[in-house]
Chains A and B, each alone.
Chain A
């Protein structure tokens, strides 16, 4: 729970759009709509993401008090995925293919039969596993228009920014030397000097 405990590793994002007047009601509606729906063995997806309570990946009843802290929107970005060992899947698939061929009295399976069998075995195996759950804290400081996301994994970040856009209608701008300089007013929007910057060369040629 990096937002609440322990050392912090995070990336910052800027929200450019202004908050709508009725943002509290709107956001709560949208957050509830996109709250995490835990993966089930029969679901077609092998991975799913959604919101959960900050610091509590299994708390999916998101009410106002859990989400709104004075001036902050705090959420957990939860992702579930199935992690069935590949060796086990291969072994079970071989068994199933052999049984199927014997039953049909054939020597080969068509491509579609193979795919269908793989799906069947995967679903069957899922029933003996639980999905892997991972949650990353997110804290949106409304007065600063800054979102702190407590992960620096590009894949998780991409998935979170997509869900954020769907939930709040805002594009997140990631922190970078340019975006920060712009936000601080240290450069203008189309600053020629910034555009013309060349990397500083420290080595001395005649060394």
Chain B
């Protein structure tokens, strides 16, 4: 197989990754974990687009994956194309849209401390609060370019942390996807879940955890 085919003909793996995130976040009550990061909150929110060839389903809701419409789309052979995701980790929450085939992020909102657009206090409000006449002299501001750089470093650090978390999830997913456990444990449970049947979270976790090296490695 040519390199270009490994990229282009296997883009569906990105959709399956998003599907797996959605499935596991519902089965495990929105709490996922990686060995590197420990447990964290992850759930689909606001928007979910599923498609297969020309047919597509767009769902906009607080929890778009929770309803029957999304599962019915799966049962018609559609897989997620993009979804809004929220991750709660280390007391911060991050939201973004994951585009599955490109594994790219859109509308990533970071909880930054620096570089926020803080509005100047309204003079009228200040006066109403009784502070109009006693306004103190503003403290000297640091150089604008330094502030901009610091804000940039913070944004990049948070972005890299999020990417590392997604990469750890993706690495776990690929290991599972290439193992025999995908067909023997994940797919049957995911089918039951899509059909609206209860999935025993503990039994599923045990079933998809490799018990031997041979099982974890290759199908």
Q: How many A-B residue pairs have CB under 8 A?
A: 133
Residues of B within 8 A of A202 (CB): 19, 74-75, 77, 79, 187, 190-191, 194
Question: Once the chains are docked, how many angstroms separate the CA of A5 from the CA of B151?
Answer: 8
Say yes or no: A10 contacts B7, CB within 8 Å: no
Known: A3-B152, A186-B175. A175 touches B102 (CB 8 A): yes
Residue of B nearest to A195 (CB): B1
Say yes or no: B103 contacts A176, CB within 8 Å: yes
Within the complex, the shortest CB–CB distance from B97 to chain A, in Å, comes to 8
Within the complex, the shortest CB–CB distance from A120 to chain B, in Å, comes to 44
Quick check: is A178 within 8 A (CB to CB) of the other chain?
Answer: yes
Report the interface size class on chain A.
35 or more
Quick check: is A91 within 8 A (CB to CB) of the other chain?
Answer: no
Contact of B16 among A180, A199, A207 (CB under 8 A): A199
Known: A7-B108, A197-B13. A180 touches B149 (CB 8 A): no
Quick check: is A194 within 8 A (CB to CB) of the other chain?
Answer: yes
Residues of B within 8 A of A199 (CB): 12, 16, 79
Contact of B159 among A8, A152, A177 (CB under 8 A): A8
User: Which A residues are within 8 Å of any B CB, using their own CB?
Assistant: 3-5, 7-12, 55, 69-70, 72, 74, 139, 141, 144, 148, 152, 174-181, 184-187, 190-191, 193-195, 197, 199-204, 207
* Closest 10 A/B residue pairs (Cβ): A186-B174, A177-B13, A8-B108, A9-B106, A177-B14, A195-B1, A11-B104, A178-B6, A176-B7, A193-B178
22 A-B pairs (CB sep. < 8 Å):
A4-B151, A9-B107, A10-B105, A11-B102, A12-B163, A72-B156, A139-B156, A152-B102, A176-B101, A177-B10, A177-B12, A177-B103, A181-B171, A184-B167, A184-B174, A191-B178, A193-B178, A200-B187, A202-B75, A202-B187, A202-B190, A207-B75
